[in-house]
Amino acid sequence: MIKKKIAIIGLGYVGLSLAVFLGSKFKVIGVDSNKNRITALGKGISYFYEPKIKFYLKRAIKNGLTFTDKIDREIISCDIIFVTVGTPIDKFGSIDLSNIKAVSSDIAKNLANAKNKPTIVIKSTVIPGTTLQVIKPILEKYDLKESEDFDLLTNPEFLREGSAMQDTIAPHVIVIGGSNQKAIQKLTDIYKSAYKKKQNIVETNNITAEVIKYANNAFLATKISFINSIANICQKLPDTNVDKIAEIIGMDPRIGRQFLKAGPGYGGSCFPKDVQALINFAHNIGYDSVLLNAVKNTNSSQVNAVMSLIKQNIKNLNGKKVAILGLAFKENTDDIRESVSTKIISLLLKNGCKVCGHDPKAIDNTRIIFGNKITYTKSLKDALTDSDCAVIMTPWQEYRNIKEKDVLVMKSPIIIDTRRVISMKNKDITQVSLGIGK
C-alpha cells in the first residue's frame, strides 16, 4: 500500500505534535516559515520544551518525517494539507488572520498548476465563518473551485501545552467540520489508521466546528474564573479551603472535577486570546456577552488578589527580595505567554522589590522580557536564600517537594502559595495559601 502523504503547515505546539505523531505512520512534511526552527527540527531538536516531543520527533524523522520552509509543489501534491499556523489577536483584541491568509494564498498559487486534489484541513483556531468566508475565497482565487480542485475541512484541536503529545495520542474527541462527505471520510480514514483505539469522531459543518473550539475554551476559562471567585471568597472565610469545595462540587457529574483548580488566573497562548476574540466577534455580530466579559475581567483582576496577599504580609515592599517560583504559565512547559508571573514581576518591580525568578524551564524566555531587571536561578535554594518572601506561581512538581528546612533559609520565611501545593506546620514560617481562609 502506498503511504498517504501529509503536509502540516505551521509547526507550533499543535502542528509539531501532529507532525511527529502522524510522522511515524505516514509520509509527513512539516512546513514552517521560520528557517531556524526548520534547521533545528531537521536535526531532531525541538525549539520549545514539551514532554516526550523529542522522542516522537526522533522516531518520526527515522520514519521519513522531513521539514521545509516553503509551500511548493511537493506540499500541494500531498493528500492532506493541515494548516496549523498561529492566529493571534491584534491590538484591539480581534483575531489576526494574516498568517492563515498568507498560507492560503501560497497554497492557492501552487494549486493553480497542480494536478491532484488535496484536502485542506484548517486546524488553527479561527473565528466562526473564517473557513468558508475568508479562507475559501483566497483558495479559489485562481479560478479554482472547492470540491473540484480541493476540499476544505475545519478540524479544531484541543491539546494542552505540557501534555501536547499525550493529548495528540489520545484526544477526547475529533471534530471534523465540512460539507463534502468524501473529504470528511478521507480525513476520518487517516485518523482511523493513525489511532490504535477507536476514536470519538464527530462530523458537523465548518462553522459549527469553529464555534465548538471557542465554546470549549471559553467554558474552561469560565470554570477557572468561577473557582477563582470562590477562592477569593474562601480567602476571607476562616476554616475554608477552596480545594475541598472544588472536590465536592466536582463530584456532581453536572459540574465535573476538572478545571476547578484555583490559582493566579489563567494564562497561556489560548484562553486569554480566545475569550477576547470571542467577545469581539460576538460584539461585531450584535451580541455583547456579559458573561464572557466577566470571565475575562475576573481573570485579569486575579493578579490583584495575589498582590494583596503579598502586601498584607510584607508591610513595605521597597527593597525587599521576592522569589517568584514558577515563570511559565503552567507546569511542564517553557512558555511564558500571558503568564501571570510576568505581571506579578512587573508590579513588584514598580514597588521597588528585588525579584529573583526561578523556573526549571522558562528562564530563557523570561530573560527576553526582563533582561537584567531581575535575577534568575534554576536553584531553588539560591532563590529562597535571604529572600523576604517567596511566591509559588506555577505548580511545578519541584515546588510540591519543598520542605520546611528549605524555607527556613529565607531572611523572613513568608511563602505565598497561589496553587496550594505545600503545607508548612512550623510556627516560624508564615504560609498564606490563595483560597484558604485563616
| Contacting positions for ligand UDX (CB under 6 A) | 157-161, 217, 220, 224, 259-261, 263, 266-268, 270-271, 329-330
Per DSSP, 386 falls in state T
* 150 strand-pairing partners: 146
Question: CA 359 to CA 423: how far, in whole Å?
Answer: 20
Q: Which is nearer to ligand UDX, 266 or 281 (CB)?
A: 266
Shorter beta-carbon distance to ligand UDX: residue 82 or 266: 266
We find the least distance from the C-beta atom of residue 159 to ligand UDX, in angstroms, to be 5
| Beta carbon of residue 218, minimum distance to ligand UDX (angstroms, whole number) | 11
CB of 259 to ligand UDX, least distance (A): 4
Nearer to ligand UDX among residue 151 and residue 243 (C-beta): 243
What span, in angstroms and rounded, lies between the C-alpha atoms of 268 and 416? Answer: 22
Q: How far is the CB of 298 from ligand UDX (least distance, A)?
A: 12
- Comparing C-alpha atoms, which of 129, 131, 127, 80 is closest to residue 104? 131
Q: Which is nearer to ligand UDX, 250 or 437 (CB)?
A: 250
The CB density around residue 102, as the number of other CB atoms within 10 Å, is 14
Q: For the CB of residue 337, give the shortest distance to ligand UDX in the complex, in Å.
A: 9
By beta-carbon proximity to ligand UDX, the closer residue of 175 and 220 is 220
Cα 14 from chain centre: 9
Concatenate the DSSP letters of all residues of 185-246 into one string.
Answer: HHHHHHHHHH-SS---EEEE-HHHHHHHHHHHHHHHHHHHHHHHHHHHHHHTSTT-BHHHHH
Three cell numbers written together for 112: 493553480
Name residue, grid cell 472547492: 146
Q: How far is the CB of 224 from ligand UDX (least distance, A)?
A: 5
State CA 211 to chain mean position distance.
18
Give the span between the Cα atoms of 29 and 14, in whole angstroms.
15
* 354-358 and 375-377 strand pairing: parallel
Active-site pick, 78, 234, 270, 353: 270
* Residue 171 neighbours by CB under 8 Å, 6+ apart: 158, 159, 199
Question: Which 3 state secondary structure label does DSSP give 425?
Answer: coil
| Assigned C-alpha cell, 33 | 516559515
Whether 270 sits among the annotated catalytic residues: the reply is yes
- Is residue 345 within 8 A of residue 412, CB to CB? The reply is no
Query: Cα–Cα distance between 126 and 122 in angstroms, integer?
Result: 8
Quote the least distance from Cβ 402 to ligand UDX, whole Å. Answer: 19
H/E run at residue 12: none
Q: Which is nearer to ligand UDX, 29 or 209 (CB)?
A: 209
Cβ pair 194, 25 in contact under 8 A: yes
**Residue with Cβ nearer ligand UDX (123 or 320):** 123
Residues written for the chain: 438
- Residue number with the smallest Cβ distance to ligand UDX: 270
* Active-site residue set: 270
